[in-house]
Amino acid sequence: MKANGAGLQVNHLRKTFRGGSVVACKDVNLEIEEGELLVMLGPSGCGKTTTLRCIAGLEHPDNDDAIWIHGRNMTRVPPKDRNLAFVFQETAMFPNLSVRRNISFGLDMRKQLPKAEISRRLEEAARMLRIETLLDRRPYELSGGQGQRVALGRAIVTEPNAFLLDEPLAALDAALRVEMRTEIKLIQRKLDTTMIFVTHDQEEALTVGDKIAVMKDGVVQQVDTPHNIYHRPANLFVGTFIGSPPINRFECTLQGSDGELRLVSPILDTHVPPQIAGRLHGASRSITLGIRPEFVQIAPDGGDLAGRVALIELMGSRTLILLDCAGQEVRVLVQGDPTVREGDRVSLALQLERAFYFEESGANLL
Confirm or reject binding of residue 220 to ligand ADP (CB under 6 A).
no
State the DSSP code for 131: -
Confirm or reject binding of residue 17 to ligand ADP (CB under 6 A).
yes
Rounded to whole angstroms, how far apart are CA atoms 23 and 4? 34
Give the chain's radius of gyration (CA, Å).
25
| Strands, E assignment, 83-206 | 84-87, 162-166, 194-199
Strands 211-216 and 37-41: parallel
Per partner kind, with CB cut-offs from 5 to 8 A, the member of ligand ADP, Mg ion, none near residue 47 is: ligand ADP
| Strands, E assignment, the chain | 8-17, 22-32, 37-41, 67-69, 72-73, 84-87, 162-166, 194-199, 211-216, 219-224, 248-255, 262-265, 268-271, 286-291, 296-299, 305-315, 318-325, 328-335, 345-350, 356-358
Q: Taking contact as CB under 6 A, which single stretch among the options 37-45, 123-131, 134-142, 225-233 is the one that binds ligand ADP?
A: 37-45
Select the residue interacting with ligand ADP from 6, 8, 13, 24 (CB under 6 A): 24
Confirm or reject binding of residue 94 to ligand ADP (CB under 6 A).
no
Confirm or reject binding of residue 49 to ligand ADP (CB under 6 A).
yes
Nearest to ligand ADP of 48, 149 (CB atom): 48
Select the residue interacting with ligand ADP from 38, 46, 56, 350 (CB under 6 A): 46
Rounded to whole angstroms, how far apart are CA atoms 4 and 90? 27
Q: Taking contact as CB under 6 A, which single stretch among the options 48-56, 76-84, 135-143, 333-341 is the one that binds ligand ADP?
A: 48-56
CB 321 within 8 A of CB 306: no
Residue nearest Mg ion (C-beta atom): 49
Select the residue interacting with ligand ADP from 35, 47, 57, 290 (CB under 6 A): 47
Touching Mg ion, residues 49-68 (CB under 5 A): 49
Binding residues vs ligand ADP (CB under 6 A):
17-18, 22, 24, 42, 44-50
Binding residues for Mg ion, rule: CB under 5 A, are 48-49
